[in-house]
Structure formats: structure tokens, C-alpha cells
Chain A
Amino acid sequence: MSLLTLRDLCVRLGRRTVVQPTTLEIGPGELVGLVGPNGAGKSSLMRAALGLLPAAGFSSLAALPAPERARAAAWLPQSREIAWPVSVETLVALGRHPRRAPGAPLSTMDRAAIAEAMARMDVARFAERPATELSGGEQARVLIARALAQAAPLTLADEPAAGLDPAHQLACMGAFAELAAEGRSAVVSLHDLGLAARFCTRLVMLHAGRVVADGPPAEVLTAERLREVYGIESFIASADGALVIQPLSLTR
């Protein structure tokens, strides 16, 4: 059962092709890392897949009507916008929007999902505080909690770990990994190759709008490929059964 199917999805901005025709399929239980240099088209690909960007080709999510799509997938955008000083709990509760009837109060299931999401992202102690008063990292966690509260089978996140301290980076990726373990899936775009290597079950590497690699981290993150796509020399090793990647220097 596929959670997301893309067939020849292609995004054009003006005359420039931002995302080349891409065919991809995401099944349950996957934590897919979307990696690639800046401007490779990661955000555009995800937004087009969700139908937030006009695109040619087919996306199973974009084909759904809005309410169903909201139940099928959660989206965490890169711009961490919080317009009003609402309480953290209210913000996380917005994730339940697709499942609530208009004007209905929060159900027990809603409350459970909210509490669990806040606990996972370690923001439960901020529940009553206005979200705008938190630090950048704390706000990021709150927004991730919102996406988790949505309890959708598929979660797409655009650089969720950016700006978080190491502990919370690990916690964030750990939360997504737990989702995968439960049979749900997540597509997460990352710049930190170490995190990608450590947590993702599958990596999709984009370069200039084209998918250049798709597979387990060990296969995708080779020194050769990193040199070619990123232009960097890196240290690759194995520790405790986990892949360790550390960029070292620019390729001359």
C-alpha cells in the first residue's frame, strides 16, 4: 500500500525547470531523507507532491480533495510562521483541524494525540505559554508537535531539524523514526548528512532537480557521490552499526 505515488512530477517556474520529471513511491514504515545541495529542488518537490505548487504529472496526494489530503498527509513547512501569540497547546491542537467537525470541542482522541505529540517533542511544560515567547528552537519543536498531532499516515517535513540543539535534533529524528516503526512514514528534507545517515531508512538525493540516487543510506552516501553532488570530501565510517558521515573539506 503506497502512501505517496509520484509519476513524472515536474515543476516549472517560468522557463526554468525546478524539478525534472520524477517518479517515486513511498510505502509504509519508511523514514525517507530528502538530501541534496541548496536549490536542488527539495522543497519544490515536496510542495508539488502535496499540491501546494502547480505541477505537471501525477501525485497521489495532490489528486485528493483538500479534506482527505489533510487526513492523508501532514506538512511542516520551512518557514516557521506563528502569526499570533496563541498558547502552545492551542497551536499543537491545530494539527487536529482535519479531523474535527466545525465548532466541535476537542474529543478525547484529540486530547490524547495532542498530549502525546507534546510529550514526544518535550514541549509539554510550555503548554500554557504563548508560542511567540519561546526561543526559535522551542518554537520549531512546537511546530513539529503540531505535525505529529495530526496523526497522518504520511508526514512531510521541510528541514525540521534546522536550528535545534543536538539533543533535540536527535529527539526530532527519533520521533520520526518511531513513526516509521509504527507503520507510518515520513519524508524529511535534511542538510545534516550525519542525521540522515543515522536515522533514515532510505535516502533520495536530488541534484539540479533530478533524482540522482535512491536507496539505503550506505548505498547513497558514497564518497564518490558526495564529491560529485556536493563538491565535498568527507569522512565515512561505521560506528556501533551505524553510519557516520562528517564533511571535511571542499573538493579542489
Chain B
Amino acid sequence: MKDSYPLLLAALSLLVALLFCASLLIGPAALGLGDSLAALLSGRGEAETLVMREIRAPRAVLGLMIGATLGLSGAALQGYLRNPLAEPGLLGVTGAASLGAVAAIYTGLSLVVPLALPLMALGGAALASLLLLGLAGARGGALTLILAGVALSALCGALTALALNLSPNPFAATEIMFWMMGSLADRSWLHVQLAAPFMLAGWAALAFAGRGLDALTLGEDAAASLGVRLDRLRLALVLGTAASVGAATAVAGGIGFIGLVAPHLLRRAVGARPARLLPAAALGGAALLLAADIAVRLIAPERDLKLGVLTALVGAPFFLRLVFSTRRRLA
């Protein structure tokens, strides 16, 4: 019997490529197809080139990388926790990363040390991951985990709002929407430079965890007996999630639900195998986020519609449906 997995990956890659190109061609400056391509590739037309190369290109790149990060980390968390409801947004990892990023920006630290921004976001995400993974395990069932995630999200959200409201800067209080909902508007290559190394490092760590996640299908005891080093697996997961989700949140705010929806949509197509789900969910997440970013620019071109609003509008009902269908397993 033929293995359809390579075909699936190819199809997803094609989808991502198409959405990436579409993302490059959509924006408030109504540029025609020919002009856009000419500006992007050969630099014809000064203003057009600026728009294409400095505004649209970094936005598309970030959409791709952040979407991939969210999908990948969602699949990894679900594989490790053996729970289809896990994802960095719901479990409070994104919220903690936002808190770290807010602390870096509004104290002025990131102006002095630009790397402080992704590093503090990474730190926040790491602490949250450690807390959650410590709660998971034989004693902590799915319900414990989700409740802990809810509590952590609420706490981080409140602390973020507090920090923003206390800031003497008049803009700070209004930026809460960005940190809660996320946006890719006006991102530049600076943001890509800041976040990409951490995201790539996180991807590497999570990819390394794939094989162990497969064995975890049988439970922790059996996986350990198969030679899986559970402590190393946990470390890879914490570091990978913290680095990639931390960096993504630091530059784009808190975007939720991609890590929930992408793995779920693709699970059946990869035969539910956690290791195979990782690359597939990464591609799926990239496609979802690029699509959402395109939609945001089509629906409300002149307004600043936050990306997270769209992902939440799609993702939250999805989550509810998922809860209903798995409720027998939960409580």
C-alpha cells in the first residue's frame, strides 16, 4: 500500500507557497500584479519597491514562520500531553510570553538591548511551559492541565494589562489589544531578524522530539521502556516551545487557536502519528495564518483589524466543538 504522507506534505507546501504569494500581492497600496512582481524582483519603481520589499515581504515571511511555529508547537504539546485540546494559547504559554515581551518594551529595556525582547518573551514562555509540564503526568489529567492553563492565561493577561495601564506612556494602555490579539501590520525586517533565529532554534528542538512522541502513544512507562529518555524529551519540548512561541509572540502579539486547529485538521490525514503530524501541522499552521492575514487585509483594509480576532472567531467555536466531542474522555 502506498504511503500518502509525502504527497500530503507536497500538497501542503504548495498551498503555503500560493498563500505566501497572495500575501505579497494584497495590501492597501493597490499595486497591479505586474508592478508588484517587477518591484519585488527587479526593484523597478522606487515607492513600489519599498512597499513590496520593506512592508509586504517581511509581513509574509513572518506570517509563514509564525504560523508554522504555532502549528508545530501545538502538535508537539498535544503529542507530549496526549491531549488534543492542548495548544500554547490555551495553556497560557502565549500569555506568559506576552507578559515577558511587555516587560521588556515598557521598561525601555528593549531599546537598550534589542535582544531583551525575544529573550524575555522566551523566559516567560519557558516558565509557563515548565509549570504546565510539571502539572501534567500520571497524577495530572487533562482537566487539571486545562484548568491550570486557564488560570495561567488569566493571570498573565491581568499582569500584562496592569503593566500597560501603569505605564505613563499614553499609548501603552491601548496596546493591550495587540498583546491579547496579535497583529502582523507594519512588521519590518527588523522583526524578522529578531525573531527568526529563536524560531528556527525552537523548530530544531521540537523536530528532535518527534520520535519520542510516537513512542509516547503507548504511555510514559512503555515509552521509557522503549528507550525514550523522558527527561530529554521534556527538555526539548520546553525549550522548543519557549523559544519558538516566545519569539513569535514577541513580534506579533498573542495569536491563538492556530496551534489547536492545524493539528486537529491534519491528524487523520497523517494517520494520527505524532511524529508525522509535526511537519504537517507546521505547514498547516503557516497556511492558516497566512490566510487569516490575507483575510484581515481584505475585510477591513483601512482599519487595524487584529489577526487574533479572526483566529479566535474561527478557532473558538472549533474548540467548543472539540470539547463536546471529547467530553467523555475528559471528566
Contact = CB atoms under 8 A, between A and B. Distances in A.
A82 B218 contact: yes
A177 B42 CA distance: 74
22 contacts: A52-B221, A52-B225, A66-B224, A66-B228, A74-B225, A75-B221, A77-B219, A81-B217, A81-B218, A81-B219, A82-B217, A83-B82, A84-B267, A84-B272, A84-B273, A84-B274, A86-B273, A91-B218, A94-B214, A94-B217, A95-B226, A150-B226
B227 A84 contact: no
Interface string A83-113: 1111100110011011000110000000000
A94 B226 contact: yes
A83 B216 contact: yes
A207 interface: no
Contacts, number: 77
A76 interface: yes
Nearest to A152: B225
A86 B229 contact: no
A143 interface: yes
A51 B227 CA distance: 12
Contacts of B211: 97, 102-103
A70 interface: yes
Interface residues of B, number: 22
B273 A90 contact: yes
A52 B229 CA distance: 11
A85 B267 CA distance: 9
B166 interface: no
Contacts of A95: 226
Nearest to B3: A105
Interface of B: 1, 82, 211, 214-219, 221-222, 224-229, 267, 271-274
A90 B229 contact: no
B231 to A, nearest CB: 10
Contacts of B225: 50, 52, 69-70, 73-75, 77
A54 interface: no
B217 A87 contact: no
A209 B80 CA distance: 34
A97 B214 contact: yes
Given A81-B218, A94-B218, 19 more contacts: A47-B221, A52-B221, A67-B227, A70-B225, A71-B227, A73-B225, A77-B222, A81-B82, A81-B222, A83-B217, A83-B218, A84-B82, A85-B272, A86-B273, A90-B271, A91-B217, A97-B227, A128-B1, A143-B218
A2 interface: no
A7 to B, nearest CB: 21
Contacts of A135: none
Interface in A139-156: 143, 146, 150
A143 B218 CA distance: 9
A79 interface: yes
A130 B272 CA distance: 9
Nearest to B82: A83
Nearest to B272: A84
Contacts of B274: 84
A117 to B, nearest CB: 14
Contacts of A50: 225
Contacts of B1: 128
Given A83-B216, A97-B227, A98-B227, A77 B221 contact: yes
